[in-house]
Structure 1
Amino acid sequence: MEYKRFAKGLSLAAVVLGLTACSQQTSTQTVQTRSADEIMEADVYNGRGAPESTVWDIFKSKPDAGRVGAVNKYIWNASLEVLDFLPVESVDPFTGVITTGFGTPPGGGTAYRATILVSDPALDARSLNVALMTRSGPASASTVHAVEDAILTRARQIRAVDSRI
């Protein structure tokens, strides 16, 4: 009986030793860690991305104050001032289009309708396109040219006043 008991104990010890030997094998798996940028993105910025601006942005050059959307604010305002006798139907400062209805200029007898396109942020003649219509068709080229000149002159005046402030 002692022999059976000794054999059971020996076999049990062999099984325990075998199992402990299996569990102590070293693993060669690599551990995946996140990079510092991924940690900053996920934990610090909450997935919103790094901030667009920093403290050092105060030393950078400022964008042109003469821009409204993608158009020049001086030409935009001058167009509305010079053609203030025309009723405004629609304005879109992002595309730069001003559309008016028919109106008669002070001291004139012909009714005009205008569509103005301010296509560039520069205070330049190429930034302004004016289309004038009368009730009988397109206005003369000299009238369109005179209106463009008046708008550009007024835009330069507004800019001069704005730069003095």
Structure 2
Amino acid sequence: MVNRFRATTLAFGIASVTFLAGCGDVSPSDSAYRPNDPRYVDETQPDNSVFGSNGLIGLFGGGSKKDAQGAQGIGVNTYLWRASLDTVSFMPLTSADPFGGVIITDWYTPPETPNDRFKLNVYILDRQLRADGIKATVFRQSHAPDGRWVDATVDPKTATDLENAILTRARQLRVNTAQQSS
């Protein structure tokens, strides 16, 4: 009876240690965007099959295909996605969804204007690299004399300038990819 109790306790102990060993400490940098991370490069073409166009083989890493944009697997245009992340990289990210094409930043206070802070929402709307495939929204708050942050107006040109900067970077990425593949 004692041997059975010891064996059960030992088995439970080993299972517990194994389980806890899998629970690692996750630091904020683990979830940071890395431009060369293969998780951000996958297929963009829609598939009508539950398992995709490559069937079960695609689930285990085999047989990927590239579309005409040079992008793979995320739900939006890869060049727009990477250009958006590059362009807003100076701001802290709150959320970045490569499948839905949404990037939301946290509030950022530029060193030049400590009484203003900005927040961005970037939406990638298309799988093609097109001017109307990106939409940016800029929010601004000013520091009130009583210490609160209050909403302030933003020049509409600011969002347009941000969209143009993203499109310019996306075109650069596309040209660089085309030059590397030839």
Output the TM-score relative to the length of structure 2.
0.53
Shift of 1:118: 0.4
Partner residue in 2 for 1:147: 162
Partner residue in 1 for 2:95: 90
The AA in structure 1 aligned to 2:168 is: T
Could you tell me whether the CA contact under 8 Å between 2:76 and 2:126 is conserved in 1? yes
Partner residue in 2 for 1:99: 104
Return the alpha-carbon distance in structure 1 between the equivalents of residues 56 and 107 of structure 2.
49
Query: Which structure would you say has the larger Rg?
Result: 1
Any idea what the Cα deviations from partners look like across 1:59-93, whole Å, max 9, x if unmatched?
x9955423542201111111111111110011111
Say if 2:83 is the partner of 1:78. yes
The AA in structure 2 aligned to 1:91 is: A
Shift of 1:52: 9.3
Structure 2 residues without counterparts, runs of 5 or longer? 1-54, 142-150
Q: Could you say if the C-alpha distance between residues 52 and 96 of structure 1 is closer, same or farther in structure 2, counting changes exceeding 3 Å?
A: same
Output the TM-score relative to the length of structure 1.
0.58
3-state SS in 2 of match to 1:116: strand
Partner residue in 1 for 2:133: 127
Partner residue in 2 for 1:11: none
Q: Which has the higher helix share?
A: 1
Could you tell me whether the CA contact under 8 Å between 1:128 and 1:148 is conserved in 2? yes
> How many residues are treated as equivalent by the alignment?
111
CA RMSD of aligned residues (A): 2.8
Could you tell me whether the CA contact under 8 Å between 1:111 and 1:134 is conserved in 2? yes
Partner residue in 2 for 1:20: none
Return the alpha-carbon distance in structure 2 between the equivalents of residues 87 and 127 of structure 1.
23
Structure 1 residues without counterparts, runs of 5 or longer? 1-49
3-state SS in 1 of match to 2:82: helix
Return the alpha-carbon distance in structure 2 between the equivalents of residues 61 and 73 of structure 1.
11
Partner residue in 1 for 2:32: none
